[in-house]
A and B are shown apart, each in its own frame.
Chain A
Amino acid sequence: MSLFLIVALPFFGALLPGIMNSAGRSACFGVTFTVTLSAFVGLLTNLPTVLAGEVVMARVNWMPELGLNFTLMLDGLGFFFAFLILGIGLLIIAYGRQYLSRDDHMGEFFTYLLLFQGAMVGIVLSDNILLLLVFWELTSLASFLLIGYWKHLPEGRQGARMALAVTGMGGLAMIGGMLILGQIVGSYDLSVILQNREAIQADPLYVPALLLILLGCFTKSAQFPFHFWLPHAMAAPTPVSAYLHSATMVKAGIFLMARMWPVLSGTPEWFYIVTTAGLVTMVLGAVIALFKHDLKSLLAFSTVSHLGLITMLLGTGTAFGALAAVFHILNHATFKAALFMSAGIVDHEAHTRDIRRLGGLRHLMPVTFTIATIAALSMAGIPFLNGFLSKEMMLEEAHHTVLFGSHWLVPVMATVGSLFSAAYCFRFIGHTFLGPVRDDYPHKPHDPGAGMWLPPAILVVLVVVIGVAPFLVQDFVFMVTKSVIGEAAELKTKYIKIWHGLVPALYMSIIAVVGGLAMMLVFKPLSKVWETTPRPEAKVIFEAIVEAIVRLAQALTHPLHNGSFTRYAMIGIVAMIAAGYHAWATGTVADPVRELQAAGPVPIAGWAMLVAATGGLVVMHRNRLLALILIGIVGLMVSVGFVYLSAPDLAMTQFTVEVVTIILLLLALNFLPNRTPTESTSLRRVRDAGVAIAAGLATFGLAYHYMLRDTVAASISEYHLANSYKGGGGTNVVNVILVDFRGFDTYGEIIVLGIAALLIYALTETLLGGPVRRRLLNRIPDQARSGDMHPMMMVVLTRVIMPVVLLVGFYIFLRGHNEPGGGFIAGLIVSIAVVMQYMASGFSWASARLKYPYHGVIGAGVLVAGLTGIGSWFVGKPFLTSDFTYVRIPPFHKFELATAALFDLGVFLAVVGAVMLSLESFSRLARRADTEDSVHPMDIDPSRNAAASGSAVDMKEDT
């Protein structure tokens, strides 16, 4: 079967259990089992090729530029691991079917399991190391889901997060390591990398790459000091533990060390780091395991210990070490999976895994007892079981290993490790199954159905068969070992034998077993000493570290983003000044090319007023009305400045904008308190003043610099001046720029204006729908209101003025193309004319006489402008291309008709609509607050008389 299919099957199959969940538990199990079985059979079809020593390859390009491709490779090592993953996977699935209770969502469980399985198969079949990383991280994610499967258990959630954090960290480190490795070799394909041992080990980046990759391996394979996550992953359902911690997840790190063995091993760095870590882990894990009371915890730490053992073997860098490692991987997978499943059976039947509450189960659960005992004895290293064989080989290798210049360090440590290992195995058997039958089990245990004990039984058969007749698997193990070591070393051993004669390893083995038995005799006092010895509790430390990091993150984030806009703006502006200063300081300056002009008395007067008004604004800004007047002065001076600099269009625009703005702001002020309260400390105000002054000075410097210098080439405005009449048909260049040269900008800007008005409207609507409405209704004006709501003088005046103003607007609009004016200014002028009616006679009166809703006016304006633009498409010209012609209708003079005028009409409408809609929105607020609103053009506030005479009601009725 294609390698792609083997990897893809579990992933695609993962969809099935979820879908089949409602079809029942057996259906759910059935599809999962079938998927795994198919992949397993598919793998086996490749066995002949692999046994022939060939490597099966499959390749599809994914990101060739990056070097990440979907390249798979099946050699001895890959086959070995895939066989374990899928084979044990099958047993676990069968076991899981029986283990999960009716409350557990089986579809979800098997989905996660298949995802995990696929990721594991992906790791071991990857030829591309970046692809391997993909699968590597996927195992972390899938195991996160599996460990946290029982969501209601806090241990499950914490264990899942811990596993994800630790293995995720390792995975990220490994990304770095793998990328460096790929950069050294120039390829991310293992088949290439494995040929470049010398190049890699000679590279200065070898050590960082090694450290990063090992960090990944050690975290995944729970090597000291990253071993702590593994026992907490035991919160998962037992099938998960059995799967993750015998054949799969934790073996991924081991696999990678074996995979990379030919190119990474053999250096002092590798030897010292890997061997030491392995040795420490082996001893530490074994010691802790002995004193664990939870069956699964005991097994978890024993797994840690055995992983250490394998790591140590890989670390020695010899071919024999690799052989022993491979063989132990196989043996450990068989007996450890069986042990976990047995522990699960005990838990399932007795409803406890606490070893102190168990004992005497051999009579009640004879089948389980047999299975567990054989598996445990194998783990202890008792002859004629497979654990013995690989442990002997390990001791043999330890005997020859010199660490830190000492000949005895490794052998002694290995023996101590084996001794504790034997001891916890004996304890597992003795304290669970031997001894008298008790009558206080939480639940009366008995052997489960065959569905549950058969999977471990199959494994135990393997344990015995390999133990008695190692020659059966010998060729296979040799083949796998050869694919591990590649060309890097030569394997001299020819056979795996049970009896080697009276060699040191045998003595060490005997010491370990006898010592283990002896330790059982003194277990009670030993345990007491252990309990009273203070030990660092890894989980507490880990949680404390994470909590500390979270608190640090919060301490960093929340005060920084505290919602104070002044602070945000201050930081932003300081950054701008700093970046600008940096640009200035690193650049070169030449002498100015223009002379400073002399300032006459008029500009100086204007400048002085501008400065005074601005300064006054800073000082008096808390009085809002005063501030508004000062802003008006500033706007007026700017208009005057435009006039002075011969820009009448801008001056007119600025002036009308000022008028409209002030009116709108006055309306807004109506709802605001007269004074802005002081909210900042004086220290902060000094700080802000400093920043503001610095920003002002910087702006001044910038303007000063540019004003004394010329552009690098002639400015495009010269072209505009020259071609305005010829190409745009207008002599007012500003207007031609607005409606023609850069009409598209204007189109955008009227849209901005329109949106702003819509927004004010939408905002008002939302405000009136919310709690603001009540506040408005209950609002009491903080100042006496004018007696004349609609003063007669004003009403009369505005009525008289209105046609005049409209005429002015019309005139301004028409002349725009050639003289100062245009749609924008005209729009503002007309708005002012209408606004005055509102001011004079009130909102209701004015709006009752309104024919067209302002929304529509805005929409129409933008549409007219847009349609003018599209119009030019019909003559094959681009958007907004203008055209003009001169016509003569007697008795008028010859005059110009330009499409730009149509565009300007759009501008005009949009401006009128936008201003009026804003006004309307503000006054809606006012009406809510003050529901008394007259429908008559002029009247007097009735409440004034009501207060005086109490006859307000009559008066109102009379009018």
Chain B
Amino acid sequence: MTHWIIMPIVLPAFLAPFIVLAARYHIGIQRVFSLAGVAALVVLSASLVWQVSDGSVLYYRLSDWAAPFGIVLVGDRLSTMMVLLTSVLALFVLLYAIGSGWDDRGRHFHALFQFQLMGILGAFLTGDLFNLFVFFEVLLIASYGLMIHAGGNERLRAGVQYVLFNLIGSTLFLFALGSIYAETGTLNMADLSNRVAMIGAEETVGIRIAAVLLLLVFAIKAALVPLHFWLPSSYAEAPAPVAALFAIMTKVGAYAIIRVYTMIFPPDLEATMGLHEVWLLPAALVSLAIGMIGVLAARKLDRLVAFSIIGSMGMVMVAISLFDPASIAAALYYIIHSTLAGAVLFLIADLVRTGRGNLDLTPQQPMIGTHMTAGMFFAGAIAMAGLPPLSGFLGKLLVLNASFEADLMVWVWAIVLGSSLVSVVGFARAGSVVFWKAHGTPVGEPVEGTGKPAALSYVAIGGLFALLVAHTVFAGKVHGYTTAIATELFDHKTYMSIVLETPGKLSDYKGGH
């Protein structure tokens, strides 16, 4: 057994305590280790993606106990793709955090950052539902720490709401896990898939409620309306690089839904028929609408971006809730896009903050570096609003195409296209007031606390844009890959057999079970 697959979890899990232990007073050393770690993560995850790109499945028994009795990690195309996306995002976000000096405005940024990565990557890689809960806890507590990094009244206030709402989610997760365990007696996902299928038609309420509660847990993470309330303030108030990293956090929810509701509760499962089909798609459409309406309504740039995240998660959820291979492939393509676009917008918003000291959507004197920032905002807005030439447009086409046969097709099309228009108007108004109107405003004294963004900040943003462009240019290849993922998800024989049939410690021992 090779240890590749556990490395993305172990590496940050060692770096973080090491930084706490040995380098907690030396920001320079912290930066070196943090950056080197994330760079290594990128290489590691790329190698993982490469290893499973032929459809094979990586598998790891923790403590050597075979599934379902111990915890297993499983790396298939889906999870390794998400791991790679996270690492690459983390690399650029970290560059920005270092360049902008955000990491030095409070304590323990790098340790928390590494722990956060550990939580996210673990959530993608685990094949055990309770272990997923543990990683949700890790990423939640670390994200709370990152969110309130550098303090400030508004930020702390938003942080409390963030952590409280997500603790409700954690509690619900425990309820759901308890329910699932009570129904099936197991926690391993592959084993659950088998056991849930054994549940007869004469009593389905138990598993139905369990399935729905679990879906709600993930929906909270995915910021699905009406469970999205934690998001706007916390993302808007979070330090910019943290908010940018959080672009992947909502995707953890989306990932978990895709995983669990294709494997454990697949759409053709009798016992859970007619459950979320009824309300998930409408809720996703409402999210999309609420998000983009929020973009139009926002009075501050950071809130605008936060709402656009809700909208783009709505789009992801629209695609997911159709639950067929084409729509899942579209959703995965869009997930990559939405992560990069969301992150880049938060960083650009921070450039505005650096340049003019606040993010109010009011005309103010021209900021430092306005041309560069304006150009970047224009490109970022294009990406988020789903206009050509960037990948959002292609993702939108994929979603529309996948929903052609859906019952609510007219609604899907109307809201997807209508919300695009609303967001276009919203972004145009915001950009116009921040960047253009400034030219008509008299130039006064430079605002205190403003300055020129660091070169490294531009590198980070440029890198994310380069990824977006690559995601567009190689859309055919990426979409081909996400299609392969979707096919694999709906036909998960390899996954199941590898997880459930590989022997582990004492497997030859006949006693007991």
Contacts and interface: CB of A to CB of B under 8 A. Distances in A.
Interface string B107-120: 11001100100100
A544 interface: no
A160 B428 CA distance: 9
Given A579-B215, A579-B216, 7 more contacts: A160-B432, A565-B160, A718-B512, A720-B69, A745-B130, A752-B134, A866-B10
B227 A859 contact: no
27 contacts: A61-B476, A66-B401, A151-B438, A151-B439, A151-B440, A160-B432, A175-B396, A557-B297, A560-B290, A569-B168, A571-B229, A579-B216, A580-B209, A586-B274, A587-B206, A587-B209, A723-B511, A744-B134, A748-B122, A749-B137, A762-B148, A763-B151, A765-B106, A766-B150, A856-B21, A859-B18, A878-B1
B513 A723 contact: yes
Interface string B188-201: 10010001101101
B26 interface: no
Contacts of A568: 161, 165, 229-230
Interface stretch (A546-554, A833-841, A948-956): A546-554
B429 A161 contact: yes
B102 interface: no
B389 A138 contact: yes
A227 B94 CA distance: 49
A863 B14 contact: yes
Interface string A858-885: 1111110010011011001111111000
B246 interface: no
B137 A741 contact: no
Contacts of B299: 554
Contact of B69 (A168, A716, A863, A876): A716
Interface in B68-108: 68-71, 106-108
Q: Which 8 A-B pairs have the closest CB atoms?
A: A722-B512, A766-B151, A859-B21, A715-B185, A711-B185, A568-B229, A587-B205, A706-B182
B205 to A, nearest CB: 4
A740 to B, nearest CB: 5
B465 interface: no
A563 to B, nearest CB: 6
Contacts of B21: 855-856, 859-860, 863
Interface stretch (B34-42, B45-53, B138-146): B138-146
B63 A758 contact: no
Contact of B106 (A709, A726, A766): A766
Contacts of A148: 432, 436
Contacts of B19: 859
B233 A176 contact: no
Interface in A580-609: 580, 582-584, 586-590
Contacts of A759: 108, 112, 141, 144-145, 148
Contact of B63 (A749, A860, A866, A882): A882
Given A176-B417, A553-B293, A759-B144, A879 B506 contact: no
Contacts of A164: 424-425, 428
B476 A575 contact: no
A134 interface: yes
Contacts of A565: 160-161, 164-165
A628 to B, nearest CB: 19
Nearest to B475: A63
B165 A711 contact: no
Interface in B417-433: 417-418, 420-422, 424-426, 428-429, 432
B444 to A, nearest CB: 16
B107 A762 contact: yes
A91 to B, nearest CB: 27
A576 interface: yes
A723 B20 contact: no
Contacts of B511: 722-723, 726
B60 A878 contact: yes
A712 B198 contact: yes
A727 B506 contact: yes
B124 interface: no
A879 B396 CA distance: 42
A858 B513 contact: no
Interface in B483-497: 483
Interface in A51-72: 61-66, 68
A801 to B, nearest CB: 31
Contact of A579 (B118, B141, B182, B279): B279
Contact of A137 (B17, B186, B387): B387
A758 B476 contact: no
Main secondary structure of the interface of B (DSSP, over half): helix
Given A65-B479, A572-B165, A741 B65 contact: yes
Interface size class of B (residues with CB under 8 A): 35 or more
B151 A702 contact: no
Interface string A410-425: 0000000000000000
A734 to B, nearest CB: 15
Contacts of B279: 579, 582
Given A168-B424, A582-B212, A712-B185, A748 B137 contact: yes
Contacts of B227: 572, 575
A766 B153 CA distance: 11
A145 B378 CA distance: 10
B347 to A, nearest CB: 21
B6 A573 contact: no
A155 B400 CA distance: 36
Given A582-B279, A702-B179, A755-B115, A134 B71 contact: no
A157 interface: yes
A172 interface: yes
Contact of B71 (A720, A745, A866): A745
Contacts of A873: 3
B106 A762 contact: yes
Nearest to A173: B417
Contact of A859 (B20, B65, B187): B20
B436 A713 contact: no
A558 B131 CA distance: 38
Given A762-B145, A863-B17, A878 B63 contact: yes
Interface in A203-235: none
B17 A860 contact: yes
A938 to B, nearest CB: 33
A499 interface: no
A705 interface: yes
Interface string A322-337: 0000000000000000
A766 B148 contact: yes
Nearest to A554: B297
A587 B181 contact: no
A747 B14 CA distance: 12
B337 interface: no
Nearest to B116: A755
B332 to A, nearest CB: 13
Contacts of A535: none
B362 interface: no
B71 A702 contact: no
Interface in A162-190: 164-165, 168-169, 172-173, 175-176, 179, 183
Contacts of B398: 66
Contacts of B232: 561
